[in-house]
């Protein structure tokens, strides 16, 4: 495997890891506040559909992005209402959101576009196009013939959509917000000991709703990325289990933002290798079935959830509705 092939795999890793990273950070905010959210999948799917649909109808990807975030925020509000206000079972609420999004997106897509649950293909201003840095090479032949440093600059650093760079910046912003601000301190405290936070005169309900709202915004961006940047339109079930993989990555990362970056990039690498079975064959000297490579992220998810990759302790008050003492 030559250096250019390695750079291509890393480039695909970045592109495929971005929705996982955003969804993982979304779950991090929610679960740090004590609200377990397995509805990440449904929120991403709803955001992916509405982003592509509205972008196609208006001709503006920015309006599509806002529509996707709004759809995800609506589902986050439903989850917050069920699990915070009415103190319902958070897992059941998340499952309901996943089922609702899976059926609703196809039904509305068929009603609006009559293309079998798809949206029209997006182009031009209807989607997020790659951003090429100054001096970066843009054709494969030019990049392949360039020096290793220029290959890294042109293929790995340059050429991504705006949402890729936004997602990468979200990691240090999340770390700063959680560990260097009063809001972050209170948010983490709500997930560990909500009674103590309430005693200090801080609204537990308000903080949990804020965390759920941030979760909705990040899931909305993740879904919009899927349909308007990574692909050029919405197709049925295009989230393809990414919400559940993001949850596994969150457990693997032990609810920490920088570790979440590394975990999601690991899963992104597995998905990138699925697209390059020739590389695996060249490295190990034997042919590997494409179905096995495609199953690798899900196998890793099961391994992590089964607890084989270190012991991860969730926030102490996670999944438990808070009842204020009289």
138 inside domain: no
**Crossing angle of the two packed helices 290-305 and 242-252, in degrees rounded to 10:** 50
How far from the centroid of its chain's Cα atoms is residue 91's Cα? 19
> Pick the residue with more confidence: 284 or 33?
33
14 inside domain: yes
Q: How confident is the model at residue 201 (pLDDT cuts 50, 70, 90)?
A: confident
248-270: average pLDDT: 91
pLDDT in tens, 62-83: 999 999 999 999 999 999 999 9
326 inside domain: no
Give CA torsion, residues 207, 208, 211, 217, to 10 deg: -120
Q: How confident is the model at residue 199 (pLDDT cuts 50, 70, 90)?
A: confident
Q: How far apart are CA 239 and CA 25, in angstroms?
A: 16
> Would you say the C-alpha torsion 28, 31, 36, 39 has a positive or negative sign?
negative
CATH classification of the domain holding 249: 1.10.3470
Give the lowest-confidence range in 10-24, 55-69, 222-236, 303-317: 303-317
121-143: average pLDDT: 91
Taking 70 as the threshold, does the pLDDT of residue 130 lie above it? yes
Taking 80 as the threshold, does the pLDDT of residue 100 lie above it? yes
CB 267 within 8 A of CB 17: yes
User: Residue 20 belongs to what domain range?
Assistant: 3-128+150-305
Q: Which residues contact 26 (CB under 8 A, 6 or more apart)?
A: 37, 40, 43, 214, 215, 216, 217, 218, 219, 222, 246
Closest CA to 130 of 11, 221, 265: 11
pLDDT of the residue at 1: 66
Q: How far apart are CA 243 and CA 133, in angstroms?
A: 31
Q: pTM for the complete prediction?
A: 0.94
202 inside domain: yes
* Domains identified in the chain, total number: 1
């Amino acid at each position: 495997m030559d250096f250019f092939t390695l750079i291509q795999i890393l480039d695909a890793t970045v592109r495929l890891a971005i929705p996982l990273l955003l969804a993982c950070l979304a779950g991090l905010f929610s679960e740090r506040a004590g609200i377990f959210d397995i509805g990440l999948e449904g929120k991403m799917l709803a955001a992916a559909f509405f982003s592509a649909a509205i972008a196609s109808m208006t001709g503006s990807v920015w309006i599509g992005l806002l529509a996707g975030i709004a759809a995800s925020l609506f589902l986050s509000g439903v989850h917050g209402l069920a699990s915070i206000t009415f103190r319902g079972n958070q897992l059941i609420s998340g499952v309901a959101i996943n089922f609702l999004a899976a059926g609703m997106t196809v039904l509305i897509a068929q009603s609006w576009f009559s293309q079998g649950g798809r949206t029209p293909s997006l182009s031009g201003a209807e989607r997020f196009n790659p951003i090429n840095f100054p001096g970066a090479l843009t054709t494969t032949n030019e990049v392949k013939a360039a020096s290793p440093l220029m290959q890294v600059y042109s293929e790995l650093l340059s050429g991504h959509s705006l949402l890729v760079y936004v997602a990468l910046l979200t990691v240090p912003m999340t770390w700063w917000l959680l560990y260097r601000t009063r809001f972050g301190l209170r948010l983490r405290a709500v997930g560990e000991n909500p009674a103590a936070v309430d005693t200090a005169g801080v609204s537990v309900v308000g903080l949990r709703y804020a965390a759920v709202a941030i979760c909705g915004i990040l899931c909305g961006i993740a879904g919009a990325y899927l349909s308007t940047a990574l692909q050029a339109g919405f197709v049925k079930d295009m989230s393809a289990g990414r919400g559940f993989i993001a949850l596994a990555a969150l457990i693997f990362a032990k609810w920490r933002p920088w570790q979440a970056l590394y975990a999601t990039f690991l899963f992104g690498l597995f998905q990138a290798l699925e697209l390059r079975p020739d590389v695996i064959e060249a490295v190990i000297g034997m042919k590997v079935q494409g179905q096995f490579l495609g199953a690798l992220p899900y196998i890793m998810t099961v391994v992590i959830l089964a607890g084989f990759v270190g012991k991860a302790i969730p926030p102490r008050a996670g999944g438990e509705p808070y009842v204020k003492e009289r």
